[in-house]
């Protein structure tokens, strides 16, 4: 069969899944929280300031997903997805273990791996990049992009406020 057809299927499934996930956060579609609800979630994750990080995450999922699905400006869509999945794994899913059934990082890791695979292989023949003759400089775009993703993830995690330990005092009667 065709490597290019395989890349198209991978890009469409992962890209549209991520775009849909981002649309839930931005627009509240498909039972999503919308931007206000998503910002409240970012507050609960102790990421601050919550509003700009919420916008960045939602835009990375929506925009990155669309770029990946279309095979446009590769590898930028993959890099956006990688950043959001790394933050999601670190802040929400890691403590729950691997399996998604227990809110673990299984699904996020799969999306991350697929995004990285497309970033490293390119979008394939059936992409807007190919149709328009666009080719961002390689390998520098991927290298600089991955460094930017790591810096962004570290900055996001470093922005978190300290976890407040709730101490329960024994009641005296």
Domain ranges of the chain: 3-158
Q: How many CB atoms lie within 10 A of CB 72?
A: 18
pLDDT at position 157 is 96
pLDDT of the residue at 166: 60
Rounded to two decimals, the pTM is 0.91
Q: Cα(38)–Cα(93) distance, rounded to whole angstroms?
A: 17
What's the confidence (pLDDT) of residue 106?
97
Burial of residue 20 (CB within 10 Å: 0-12, 13-18, 19+) is middle
C-alpha to C-alpha distance for 101 and 19, rounded to whole angstroms = 22
pLDDT given at position 171: 58
Structure tokens at 83: 């950043």
Spatial separation of the C-alpha atoms in residues 139 and 124, rounded to whole Å = 16
Ranges of residues in the chain with a pLDDT under 50 are none
The token pair at 128 is: 């807007």
144 Rama class: left (phi>0) / alpha (psi -120 to 50) / beta: alpha
């Amino acid at each position: 069969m065709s490597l290019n057809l395989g890349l198209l299927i991978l890009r469409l499934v992962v890209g549209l899944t991520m775009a849909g996930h981002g649309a839930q956060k931005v627009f509240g579609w498909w039972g999503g929280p919308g931007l206000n609800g998503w910002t409240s979630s970012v507050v609960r994750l102790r990421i601050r300031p919550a509003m700009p990080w919420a916008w960045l995450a939602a835009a990375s999922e929506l925009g990155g997903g669309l770029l990946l699905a279309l095979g446009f400006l590769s590898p930028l869509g993959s890099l956006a997805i990688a950043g959001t999945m790394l933050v999601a794994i670190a802040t929400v899913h890691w403590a729950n273990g691997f399996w998604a059934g227990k809110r673990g990082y299984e699904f996020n890791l799969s999306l991350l791996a697929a995004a990285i695979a497309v970033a490293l292989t390119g979008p394939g023949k059936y992409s807007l990049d190919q149709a328009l003759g666009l080719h961002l400089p390689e390998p520098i775009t991927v290298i600089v992009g991955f460094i930017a993703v790591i810096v962004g993830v570290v900055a996001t995690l470093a922005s978190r406020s300290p976890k407040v330990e709730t101490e329960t005092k024994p009641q005296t009667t």
